[in-house]
A = this chain, B = another copy of it.
């Protein structure tokens, strides 16, 4: 019981620490951003550098602790830090490293007029990213059992450092873009102020690293999510009865979903490439936008209808829900709902802008339909995934249903059960034999059972097809924003309506969440596919 007290104490204290780090960062960054003279830029950079340095040191210490206590109990939460999250962290981490190198390069060419902090900061950031990526890869499943409170503080420090870096990156990027968009002919020099790039190589460094900003933003989000899960898991003792059913992920039986999904994926890739080429020249931009919106509307339409169909199927085949507490699932659901807010945000702002201006251009109307469908699709898909995650796996349920009958072969029941018709008929006939032998209903009853089972099988199959289709189409909806499609800027309407810094900030805050949502949805759909 005393242990509990300290658990809450440590949680509370570390939470308060985290809140204060983030708020101070937030105030510093917005002070730097909104004040005409960048008088606090130095402070922002020092703050970030100190935070990253501290976090880096802590992570090294943690790794040393873990290595030293390898023999002690080191529980793992197998649901935390799934492969897609860790791989994503590595991918975005590498991109961030490239960004850091470009930043250092630029600062070195400007060494004559800029403060040395501009070199120290990216160097520390590089070291930090390397350590953190390794740390997340190795330790993201740990449920720390030693140094509980110190680990809580360390993880909260990691979380708040990443969020502060995220806030700083979003603000930086928004300011840069708004300067760039407002006056596209002035080039990158206007963004820097008195100490601007004058050489060719410096400018190319600068252009390069602004392209990589989205990956840096995404990296911070990933690291935050993973360190939050680790923080929640500190001191948790896993119950080992959560059977790790490693179903093979076999898609070959579900041709329809596979074919439709691949069709959307491939056509989406084609549309995306054409769009990226055409949107940059003035004369083809309108055409590119129209094509892009039409593809999106068709695909989103399909992706809205299919989870709706699956949800209706759920209603028809009532299966028991798994209402046990499951922290990982709760977190999954919260992340799905929370990350969807990003796209909701953008979509609602677009809708308001289009309705208020009501310009009547073709691609503004398309933009309206696209935004509405985006919201509808997220809603329906979330309902489908969340309900899917809460359903009991099929085999478990059958186990429960038949538990009432006493079976001698209880242990190998599952293996026998693989052929459903055999089992059902066997059971029914045993019953019937006991009561009456000569009357002939048994055959009819067996057929009825079998038909029901086959019908349930059809439903399961439908759900599996749909999840496969959604899974594949979510991939293309991840690829398009992640690799630079920004119709929100290119159509120009919202930029004009809300003004530069505001709309850019909305998109820069919302879109990374949208990208995170798509990746998370793909992972959850795999799970739904397996459970169904």
Residue positions of A touching B, CB distance < 8 A:
1-2, 4-5, 8-9, 12-13, 15-16, 19-20, 23-24, 26-28, 30-31, 34-35, 39-40, 43, 318, 320-321, 323, 337, 341, 344-345, 348-349, 351-353, 355-357, 375, 379, 382-383, 386-387, 390, 497-499, 502
A341 to B15, CA, bound (A): 12
User: Are B27 and A320 in contact, CB atoms less than 8 angstroms apart?
Assistant: no
Given known A1-B321, A31-B498, A390-B8, contact A40–B344 (CB-CB < 8 A): no
Given known contacts A8-B321, A31-B356, A34-B498, A24 and B390 CB-to-CB distance under 8 angstroms: no
Which residue of B31, B39, B379, B390 contacts A349 across the interface (Cβ within 8 Å)?
B31
Picked from B12, B352, B390, the residue with its CB within 8 Å of the CB of A386 is: B12
User: Is the Cβ of B43 less than 8 Å from the Cβ of A344?
Assistant: no
The docked-state distance in angstroms from the alpha carbon of A353 to that of B4 is 41
User: Is the Cβ of B323 less than 8 Å from the Cβ of A5?
Assistant: yes
Cβ–Cβ contact A498 & B1, under 8 A: no
In the assembly, what is the distance between CA of A14 and CA of B53, in Å? 44
Residues of chain B contacted by A12 (CB below 8 angstroms)? 383, 386
8 pairs of A and B residues whose beta carbons are closest in the complex: A5-B321, A27-B348, A4-B323, A31-B352, A27-B352, A40-B356, A27-B349, A23-B348
9 A-B contacts (beta carbon < 8 Å): A13-B383, A15-B337, A19-B344, A24-B351, A31-B349, A34-B498, A35-B356, A39-B357, A40-B355
Residue of A337, A345, A349, A499 most packed against chain B (CB within 10 A):
A349
Contacting pair A390 B323 (CB below 8 A): no
Query: A341 vs B20: C-alpha distance in the bound complex, in angstroms?
Result: 9
Q: State which of B19, B27, B337 has its C-beta within 8 Å of the C-beta of A16.
A: B337
- Bound together, the chains give a CA A28 to CA B353 distance in angstroms of 9
Question: Contacting A23 at CB < 8 Å: which of B16, B344, B498, B502?
Answer: B344
Q: Given the complex of chains A and B, what is the CA–CA distance between A210 and B341 in angstroms? A: 33
- Whether B34 lies near A356 (C-beta < 8 A) is no
- Hey, which chain B residues are within 8 Å of A387, CB to CB? 9
The residue of chain B having its C-beta at the shortest distance from the C-beta of A345 within the complex is: B23
Q: Which of B13, B16, B386, B502 contacts A34 (CB 8 A)?
A: B502
Instruction: For residue A141, give the distance in angstroms from its CB to the closest CB of chain B.
Output: 26
- A20 to B344, Cβ gap below 8 A? yes
Report the Cα distance A4→B321, complex, angstroms.
Answer: 8
Task: Name A29's closest neighbour in chain B (CB-CB).
Answer: B352
Given contacts A34-B499, A35-B497, A390-B8, contact A356 B43 (CB under 8 A): yes
Residue of B nearest to A320 (CB): B1
On whether the beta carbons of A5 and B348 are closer than 8 Å, the reply is no
